[in-house]
Amino acid sequence: MCRSDFNLERELPLHVDAIEQLHRDAFGPGRFARTAFRVREAVEPEPSLSYVALCHGHMAGSVRLSPIAIGKCRALLLGPLAVHPNFKKKGAGALLMEKAIEEAKALDYCAILLVGDYDYYCRFGFQRVPVGKIALPGPVDPMRVLLLPFDKAEAHACEGVVQAGVN
């Protein structure tokens, strides 16, 4: 299996049940207690930035981006990015990330924020956020707070408290 086996589509209502099952399988019931989930539950994902990866009709993965504010910065919160266990390490996650980032850069946001594994996300340009620069409304490992600024000149505006929605 290679990257060309995956078909990326914008998320549609017909995908929602499969995505929810994917999230249950990938993250379990503990996902509701995570700080990033708590932020995401207060805002709907941006429909134009929500994608699924399909492989021969099967849900291989999904990605969603939700609008947030980080201080004065209009940004996006990644997540979740989820890949079905049968399709892990086959390129679906990378394709979804690349597509979401490409589309997000064309909109009026200054960055994408996520809480995740630096070793995975650094290849897409995400950087660790200096401790204390961005505050999430709940506990989080500061080494897992990552930011992909779209414009280096505006990156300094991405500091402060994360809130659902945009200012």
Number of domains in the chain: 1
CATH number at residue 158: 3.40.630.30
For the stretch 120-139, pLDDT in tens is: 999 999 999 999 999 998 88
Summarize the confidence of residues 70-92 as an average pLDDT.
92
> Could you tell me the two tokens for 50?
């929500």
The yes-or-no verdict on residue 154 having pLDDT over 90 is no
Quote the pLDDT of residue 33.
Answer: 52
Quote the pLDDT of residue 54.
Answer: 96
- Domain of 49, in residue numbers: 3-164
The yes-or-no verdict on residue 144 having pLDDT over 70 is yes
89/22 Cα distance (integer angstroms): 16
**pTM for this structure?**
0.90
